[in-house]
Structure formats: C-alpha cells, structure tokens
Amino acid sequence: MPMRAPKGYIDITDPKVCQVGHPAPPWMASYADLMTELVCFFVILYALSAALSKDVQKAAADVKEMMDKGEVKGEVKIDKDGLKISIEEQGGAGFFGVGAAEPTPEIDSKLALLTPALAKLASSHEILVEGHTDGQKIHNEYFDSNWELSTARATSVARLLIEKYHMPAAHLGAVGYGDNRPIATNATPEGRAKNRRVVIFVKSSSIKKPDPGPESAVMDAKALPPIAGPPSAAPEEVIRNTENPESPSAAPPTRGGEE
C-alpha cells in the first residue's frame, strides 16, 4: 500500500504546479537590489549634471533673447561640450579693419552686451575665443596668412575681455582657425561677412581650484631667496683676475679671423 502524502505537500510533478514555474535562485534577489541601486545612482548623477549646467543654460537663453531682439547677430549652440556663441558682423560694420586685428567699436559694443551673461561663467568655466576669417587670401607687412590674422584677432578680443570687462585671464584662451571652418560661401559678400566671425566657446566642465599640498610647499621653499653664505669659487677667481690683470685668464678674448 503506497504511503499517503502529508497534509500540505505539493507534488512538483503536478501540472498545475509546473505551469507556475520554478522559484528563482537565491542570487537573483541580490542582483535585483544591485540593479535598483545603480538606477538610483545614475538618476542622482543626471540631476547633478543638470544642476551644474543651469548657469550655462541661463546664459544661452539670455544671449538667444538678445539675438531674437536683433541686438546681436549670430548663433547660439549648446551641447555636451559646452556653449558656443557665434558673433557675426551686422549692418555692414566690421569687427576689425581690413587685414588688421585691432577691434572696432562695433565688436566692443557686442561684447558689452554679452559679458553680463558670461561673467558668472567666467569664474568657474574655461572660455575659448575663436577667430575666423573669410576665404580671401592675405599677405601684408603684419600677417602672412589668414591663420595668423584670425589668431591675432582672437587674442585681441580675449585681451579686451580681460582688460575692459575684467574676466579672469587664467580662464581665457584664444585660438585662430583662419578660413578653414567656413559656415557660408566665400563667393558672395554676404557669405564672407558670415565667415568673418568671432566665436566664444564656454566649455561645459567646471574648473576645479587646485588644492595646496606638499608640492606647493616645496615650490614655495624653492622660490625663497638663497641664504647668504661664503662666495663661490667662480667669483673669487674673477676677483683675483681683476687684481692681477697680467693673469692669462684676464686677457681679452681674441676675435675670429684677426691676427
């Protein structure tokens, strides 16, 4: 006589039980907890990145509003690399003289409008001023190519931002691309005017202040003036030669080709 199954016993061969499935292995619970924690971690990272770029987004919105009003002509682009503000010539007034790098009052007036939006970013972000020219070749007494001209123009704009608008020099840089990155055709005056532009590139990553450490203490010690001590051998030799002008080492050097 077969044994009777105890009360509450579930036979795994029962079709009703097999349809439900087998229980998950024990490690699945730990794995599910890990995945949940990773999701929470990435959500926090996204929230932090959004908070860090809030100032950049605010500056982009302010500049876009200026361009919509016609105060500044150009384009605003923001992506993962940062904020790019392209300033173009407006109403036939040039930013620089022909073949020159000295900024005109026209670009100075545009910078006066833009610097309030950029001032807060300049303290915590690296800002790169890009110079661009049209495709007309140049060769004068100051510049041999558009590459040199664009670099000089970017440098003059960066200097203007530092000296007049008090942006931190340590966070500003300048680079020239010449006529290598056109955004319009160089066959028309309008296209050349669009290519003669200045781009202000605000990088998305924040600048971290270096923490003072043992290396800085060593550098500071090296920067101190040397401790006074007895004169070295070289100065003594010079003094002896001065006192004894007949010494061979004190004789004046001969010039090549002369007897």
**Residue 191 domain flag:** yes
- 119 assigned to some structural domain: yes
Domain of 91: which CATH number?
A: 3.30.1330.60
The percent of residues above 70 in pLDDT, for the chain, comes to: 69
Residue 120 falls inside a structural domain:
yes
Q: In angstroms, what CA-CA distances link 203 with 77, 79, 121, 209?
A: 12, 10, 9, 16
Amino acid 17 reads V
- For residue 52, being part of any structural domain is answered with no
Residue 150: phi, psi to the nearest 5? -65, -35
In a domain, 100, yes or no: yes
Q: Per-residue pLDDT tens for 160-205?
A: 999 999 999 999 999 999 999 999 999 999 999 999 999 999 988 7
Please name every residue paired with 88 in a beta bridge, in sequence order, or none if there are none: 197
Which pLDDT score, from 0 to 100, does residue 162 have?
Answer: 95
Residues 6+ apart with CB under 8 A from 108: 160, 164
Q: Give the tens place of pLDDT for each residue, 63-105.
A: 999 999 999 999 999 887 889 999 999 887 899 998 999 999 9
Residue 138 lies in a domain: yes
Residue 101 lies in a domain: yes
Q: What angle do CA 76, 81, 87 make, to 5 degrees?
A: 25
Residues 6+ apart with CB under 8 A from 95: 87, 89, 103, 104, 106, 107, 110, 153, 196, 198
Per-residue pLDDT reduced to its tens digit, 95-110: 999 899 999 999 999 9
pLDDT, one tens digit per residue, over 41-58 is: 888 776 655 555 788 888
Rounded to whole angstroms, the Cα distance separating 192 from 147 reads 16
Note whether residue 231 is domain-resident: no
Question: For the chain, what is the domain count?
Answer: 1
Expressed as residue numbers, the domain containing 159 is: 70-199
Q: What Å distances lie between residue 140 and 6, 148, 161, 178, CA to CA?
A: 105, 11, 27, 15
Average pLDDT for residues 15-36, to the nearest whole number? 71
Instruction: Read off the pTM.
Output: 0.61
Contacts of 116 (CB under 8 A, 6+ apart): 62
Amino acid 223: pLDDT: 44
Task: Annotate 105-137 with DSSP letters as a single string.
Answer: HHHHHHHHHHHHHHHHHHTTEEEEEEE---S--
As given in the structure block, the two tokens for residue 20 are: 């439900």
